[in-house]
Amino acid sequence: MHSSKSTRFAPDRGLTTRMVSTMFFIGLLYVVFVGVLLALLRGAWPLILLFAGGMFIAQFWFSDRIAAFSMGAREVTPEQAPELHGAVDRLCALADMPKPRVAIADSDVPNAFATGRNRKNALVCATTGLLRRLEPEELEGVLAHELSHVAHRDVAVMTIASFLGVLAGIITRVGLWGGLRRVGGRDSNTAVLVVLIPLISAVVYAISFLLTRLLSRYRELSADRAGALLTGRPSALAAALTKVTGEMARIPTRDLRQAEPFNAFYFAPAFSKESFSRLLSSHPPLEQRLEQLGRISAQLGRP
């Protein structure tokens, strides 16, 4: 029987604490932001509340479908992808967790991701580039990493947290459209609103961006650790990490640019050659991830 509360993935209190803290601060930021907009744009408050509430509910309930569609995931049956399904079946049995939906994305960028607001609605996806390049043990290591995201529920937290920053921009545009159309050039406050609202939106986005990046880097290390302990083969996960990161250099820049917006969800980040995203990466450095896996290997007494 699958436990509704826990799995055999190693628990991580540090991750839980960080997820709760991140959601609290981003939620507080969001409430303050909406409050400021309502104060500045009194005439547009019904539109602001309607959009804020509607978009948040839509994101929460359809986050898995939106993310999967955006990244080109196509759900596959055990007959269509027997090896992928077989690996997920073995890991779910080992972890004592419900099996998520399984998908494949037609992309040469070697990667994998998990989405879903809870374990029952989760989806795990591997790209064709990943399936073509990895050995069975390496693939299981990557899938164990992704399943740990589902087990620890940090997939849902990241989806919601990252969306609130985007929502700040949407609400701002709606507020400006609704409020400024009414006041036009006849109100002396118009110039102040034109400056204040984009400024407040930029601050909200910047703070939410930094908070989600901090959480994202920690959750990747947590997933590496939990996946390695579940399979008992940290060296296989290390090999997969090294291989995937090395292969990124061979992927055309155009393909990497298409993948970059979804880096927070991927197993390993995709960087185009001109990218400066490394400064505020969603993932910890490869060296740090390999060092942690090396320590786990030593603890398990494995090479």
Known binding site for Zn(2+): residues? Answer: 145, 149, 220
Which burial class, exposed, middle or buried, applies to 195 when counting CB atoms under 10 A from its CB (0-12, 13-18, 19+)? exposed
Residue among 58, 60, 72, 64 at smallest CA distance from 121: 64
In angstroms, the CA 46 to CA 53 distance is 11
Q: Which residues are annotated as a binding site?
A: 145, 149, 220
Name 105's bridge partners. 73, 127
Residue among 205, 175, 217, 199 at smallest CA distance from 14: 217
Catalytic positions, written as ranges: 146
In angstroms, the CA 283 to CA 292 distance is 14
* DSSP three-state, residue 12: coil
Residue entry with tokens 């545009």: 173
Residues 6+ apart with CB under 8 A from 225: 10, 12, 292, 296
Residue entry with tokens 């809870």: 118
**Which amino acid belongs to residue 187?**
D
**H/E element, 75:** strand 73-75
The answer to whether the beta carbons of residues 280 and 209 sit under 8 Å apart is yes
> What are the tokens at 222?
């947590």
Name 126's bridge partners. 104, 112
